[in-house]
Amino acid sequence: MRLKNLPSEFQEALPILEKIKAAGFEAYFVGGSVRDALLNRPIHDVDIASSSYPEETKRIFPRTIDVGIEHGTVLVLAGEREYEVTTFRTEDVYVDYRRPSQVTFVRSLEEDLKRRDFTINAFALDEAGNVIDKFAGLEDLDNHLLRAVGLAAERFNEDALRIMRGFRFQASLDFDLEAETFAAMTACAPLLEKISVERIFIEFDKLLTAPYWRRGLLSLINSRAYDFLPDLKNREAALMDLLEKTSPNTLFTSSEQAWASLLLALKPSSVKAFLKRWKTSNDFQKRVEQIVDIYYIRQERALNKRDCYCFELDLLREAEEIRQAQGLPVDFDHLQKTYDALSIHDKRQIVVKGRQLIEEFGFQPGPDLGKILSQVEQAIVDGELSNEKAAIMTFIKEKSSE
């Protein structure tokens, strides 16, 4: 097969291929970018595989960076762009179900493609647009099928993270998992416990925020792979609850919203503790926890000014969208109007500062000063006090005389 019109992302990288070939080596575009080009999907990173060994690649280009030279990867700098050029390679036994014990550089493209995870990721593309397909990936692409390259069990034993990648690709592409491939994913699922939580989080997060996340999650459930993920052992019912109580056309607008929805289904004793076990950042934990908090507030009542002041507008909207996805009553107009009615959205917007109170009223830094500033803040938020110096000073005088 030949791509008649090479996408612009590849055209921009053609000089890299041409220089490598001019030096007497083979070079091809490989990986997900080729798959996405064949599917007419947006292309992100353009990766290049070559028969040139790393030191040979570095001699071809004046500006390079060693980003993974032990694995054959050299970053080539071309103007404002940069491209990873990786030597054809084979891999020895995987000692930790993630990394090979040894990488051997080779001159054969086919040997290199054999180590790929799925057939639809095992394409190579030359400078003329010819697609090299050694494993019937084009047929699988036409049939919307995810099939492991070679023996499926071997691929997942080599790198157990490929199991999560399989579910993620299904969620992204809306493809079926080939029967033998899915059986191997199921059988090898216990190996996920050998993989770092951070890497699993990345794949699970991509799954949840993908357009067909329901398909990917259902396959994960059917494989019982969740039993080997942090705090998800024996949580099939809760995971199914997420699918059943969320409308079929739901797409999560952010990672935080997706994980908040998951946590609302799981109902852990502590949102923060759950996310800590997934090794997420403190900021991510805080934002997810706030969406969950807003959701529970909305279960009791409409949001008021203090709620809209305490939480960011995007988090307020995302919590309301979760309710909408669950078929619960929503009121985006009330939310927006209440938020817009606030005269301040941050205490730093208050026109009177603590320093002024120290100078004019003789307050000393400490609890009393903090208390009066908090009273000013709440009165402004509640609409009982205008954010003007004269009004605030009068308010403080009255409070001080009580």
Residues at the binding site are 32, 35, 45, 47, 116, 159, 162, 165, 168
Structure tokens at 255: 């990672």
Known binding-site residues for Mg(2+) equal 45, 47
Residue with the two structure tokens 């033998």: 180
Q: Edge-to-edge, what's the strand order for the sheet holding 27-30?
A: 64-68, 73-78, 81-87, 47-50, 27-30, 123-125, 131-133
Known binding-site residues for ATP equal 32, 35, 116, 159, 162, 165, 168
Pairwise CA distance, residues 238 & 245, whole Å:
10
Alpha carbon of 34 to those of 29, 137, 163, 334, 363: distances in Å?
7, 11, 21, 47, 68
* β partners of residue 164: none
Which value, to the nearest 10 degrees, does the dihedral of the CA atoms of residues 8, 31, 174, 166 take?
A: -160
- 242 close to 226: Cβ distance less than 8 angstroms: no
In 3D, which of 203, 144, 147, 149 has the Cα closest to residue 175? 144
Known binding-site residues for CTP equal 32, 35, 116, 159, 162, 165, 168
Pairwise CA distance, residues 215 & 174, whole Å:
7
Q: CA 221 from chain center: how many Å?
A: 20
- 146 close to 175: Cβ distance less than 8 angstroms: yes
Pairwise CA distance, residues 387 & 350, whole Å:
6
